[in-house]
Amino acid sequence: MDLTPFAEAYRETNRRIVQLLDFLSALQGLSEVSPIVTDRRGMLDQALKGLLENQNMSRCSVFLCERDELVNAAGLSWADLIGLPGQVARRAFPVGNGVMGRAVATGMVQYASDCRHDPDFLSLPAEASPEISSLISVPIRSGDGVLGVLNVSHTESEAFGPDEERLLTLYAHFLGQMLLNWQHVHRLEEQVGQRTRELEEALEEARELQQRFQTLAVLDDLTGLHNRRFFFAEARAIVARALRQGVGISVILLDLDHFKQFNDQFGHAAGDRVLRDVAMAMGQLVREGDVLSRFGGEEFVLLLPGTDLDGAIGLGKRIRQALAGLEWMFDGSEPQRITASIGICALVLEGPRQDPSPGDVLEGMLSRADLTMYTSKDAGRDCLRVSTLELLDNH
C-alpha cells in the first residue's frame, strides 16, 4: 500500500496546524496591545511586530485613509527587528491608486502574487525598500467604511495562498477594532482635556471675578480709597488693639464745603475730578497703617492708630494746607478752589475703667468727630474743631 498520500496529507495538516498556532500567537499579541497608549504609531508597531514574528512574511505595514490619501501609519520589516537599516520612510498614495487603492475602493482583499507583472503595483525606490515580489492588501474595515489597509509582502512571488488571505482578513478585523477603540479613547481624552481646560478657564475667570468683587466691595470706584464697609471692619480691629495695648487713637472727619453748589455749577464730571484730586492729596499725607476712606458723598474719614490729639491736629492742618494748594479751571472759568470743615476726636485712656466694646468706642469717636465737624461748619467752614473721648483706666 502506497502511504505517500497519507504522508503528504499529514505534512499538509501539520503545516496548517502550525500556521494556525502561529496566527493565534499573533492574535494573542494583538490582544495584549493597549489602546490607551498615547502614540498611535507605537500601538501599530506593537501589533505589526507580533504579526511579523509569527507569520512567513518579509514586511508588513498599515496605511490609513486621511482625506484623499493613504498615508503610511506604521511599517516593520525583519531588518527593523534585527536592527538593520532599511525602514521605509513615511509615504502617501492617492486613494484608488495601486494594489492598496484597489483594496480601499472594493473593500476586498487584493493579492498581487507577482508584483513585477502587476500593472497596479506601485513600487518604491530600490534604495528605500527591499524587493517586493508578492503583496496582500487587506482592507481594515469600520462598519460599512474602510479605515485603511493592512499590507503584507514577501520577497518571493506566489508566497501567499487562500489560508493567509483568510487569516489576514481576520487579523485586519481585530486590528480595525483596536484602531476604533484607540480613536474612541483618545477622542474621549481630547474631550475630557478640552472640558478640563474650559473648566480651568471658567474657574480662573471666577477667581478673577471674585477678586474683582472683593476689591470693589472694599474700594470706592471713583477715588480708589477704601470705602465705608472696609473702614468699619478695619477700624474695629484697630480700636480693639488700641484698647488692649492702652494706646491712644484719633479720628478725623472731613466734609468739603459747598460741594453741592460746586457740583451744580460745573457738573458732576467736574465734581468727580475734585473728589479724586482731594483723595490723592490726602493720600500723600497719611502714614502706613492709617486708614483713609471715602465715607460717602464729599465726606472723608481718617483713623490714626497711635496718634494723640496733638498729632491729629497737626495732620488736620496739613490737610487744610494741601487743599488750599489745589485749584481747577472748568470751561474757561476762573481758578476754582475748595475748602473743608474738619472734626477731630482723640481717644484718651486714663483712670480706672471697665473694658468697653471696640464697636461702642468707635461709634462714640465717630459721633463726637461728626459733632465737631458740624461745629466747624457753624463757625464759618474752612476750619477744624476738636474733641476727646475719655475712658477710665481700670488699673
Q: What is the pLDDT of residues 365-383, one digit of tens each?
A: 999 999 999 999 999 999 9
- Based on the domain organization, do 184 and 41 belong to the same domain? yes
* Cα 156 to Cα 131: distance, rounded to the nearest angstrom: 9
Domain with 343 in it: what CATH number?
3.30.70.270
Is the same domain home to 52 and 154?
Answer: yes
Q: Is residue 202 part of a domain?
A: no
In a domain, 318, yes or no: yes
Does residue 393 have a pLDDT over 70?
A: no
Question: Of 160, 189, 218, which marks where a domain is finished?
Answer: 189
Is residue 198 in some structural domain?
no
Query: Based on the domain organization, do 131 and 255 belong to the same domain?
Result: no
More confident residue, 140 or 56: 140
Place of cell 478585523: 173
The more confidently predicted of residues 256 and 19 is 256
Q: Tell whether 184 and 233 lie within a shared domain.
A: no
Give yes or no: residues 151 and 254 share one domain. Answer: no
Of 173, 189, 205, which residue sits at a domain end? 189
Render pLDDT for 158-169 as a digit per residue (tens, 0 to 9).
878 787 788 888
Both 246 and 97 in one domain: the answer is: no
Across the range 134-144, mean pLDDT stands at 84
Q: Is the pLDDT of residue 207 over 90?
A: no
In the chain, pLDDT over 70 holds for what percent of residues?
Answer: 80
pLDDT in tens, 62-91: 898 888 888 888 887 766 655 554 544 457
Is the pLDDT at 276 greater than 90? The verdict is: yes
The pLDDT value given to residue 344: 98
* Dist. CA 47–CA 76, nearest whole Å: 10
The catalytic residues are: 298
Is the residue at 313 inside a domain?
Answer: yes
Q: What average pLDDT score do residues 322-344 get?
A: 92
Tell whether the model's pLDDT for residue 354 goes beyond 90. Answer: no
Give 243's contacts (C-beta < 8 A, 6+ positions apart). Answer: 349, 355, 356, 358, 361, 391
Between the alpha carbon of residue 385 and those of residues 69, 312, 345, the distances in Å are 90, 11, 9
Percent of the chain, pLDDT > 90?
33
Q: Predicted confidence band at 97 (pLDDT cuts at 50, 70, 90)? A: confident
Same domain, 158 and 242: no
- Indicate the pLDDT class of residue 125, thresholds 50, 70 and 90: very low
pLDDT band at 287 (very low <50, low <70, confident <90, very high): very high
3-state secondary structure of 29: helix
Where is the domain boundary, 189, 220, 243? 189
Between 146 and 91, name the one with better pLDDT. Answer: 146
Q: Which of 38-47, 66-75, 121-130, 322-331 has the highest average model confidence (pLDDT)?
A: 322-331
Sign of CA dihedral 370, 375, 378, 382: negative
- The predicted model gives 157-182 an average pLDDT of 81
Q: Cell numbers at residue 252, please?
A: 478725623
Give the chain's domain count: 2
Residue 14 counted as domain residue: yes
Residue 127: pLDDT band with limits 50, 70, 90: very low
How would you label 357-391 residue by residue, b for 16+ Cβ within 10 Å and e otherwise? ebeebbebbbebbbebbebbbeeeebbbbbbbbeb
Q: Coil, helix or strand for 120?
A: coil
pLDDT bracket for residue 126 (50, 70, 90): very low
* Residue 199 falls inside a structural domain: no
Indicate the average pLDDT of the chain. Answer: 82
pLDDT value at position 128? Answer: 42
pLDDT at 246 over 80: yes
CA distance 171 to 151: 11
* Domain, as residue range, for 164: 4-189
Name the pTM for this structure. Answer: 0.52
- Other Cβ atoms less than 10 A from the Cβ of 318: the count is 14
* CA dihedral sign, ordered 308, 310, 316, 318: negative
173 and 235 assigned to the same domain: no
Residue 57 predicted with pLDDT over 80: no
120 alpha carbon, distance to own chain's centre: 51
Instruction: Look at residue 164 and give its three-state secondary structure.
Output: helix
For every residue of 192-210, DSSP letters joined together read HHHHHHHHHHHHHHHHHHH
Task: Give yes or no for a contact between 115 and 135, defined as CB atoms under 8 angstroms apart.
Answer: yes
Cα distance between residue 387 and residue 382, in whole Å: 17
Q: Which residue has the higher pLDDT, 17 or 73?
A: 73
* Whether residue 195 has pLDDT greater than 80: yes
Residues 169 and 282 placed together within one structural domain of the fold: no
Residue 150 belongs to a domain with what CATH number?
Answer: 3.30.450.40
What is the H or E stretch that residue 6 is in? helix 4-31
Give the pLDDT band of residue 310 (cuts 50, 70, 90).
very high
H runs (alpha helix) in 55-161 = 78-81, 98-106
What's the pLDDT score for residue 58?
74
196 part of a folded domain: no
Q: Are residues 150 and 35 in the same domain?
A: yes
pLDDT in tens, 84-94: 545 444 577 77
More confident residue, 206 or 212: 206
Q: Does residue 159 share a domain with residue 235?
A: no
Domain co-membership, 247 together with 135: no
Q: Does residue 216 belong to any structural domain of this protein?
A: no
pLDDT at residue 25, as a whole number: 55
Nearest alpha carbon to residue 330 among 264, 382, 260: 264
Q: 38: buried, middle or exposed (CB in 10 Å: 19+, 13-18, 0-12)?
A: exposed
CA distances from 315 to 117, 184, 200, 330, 377 (A): 105, 72, 49, 30, 19
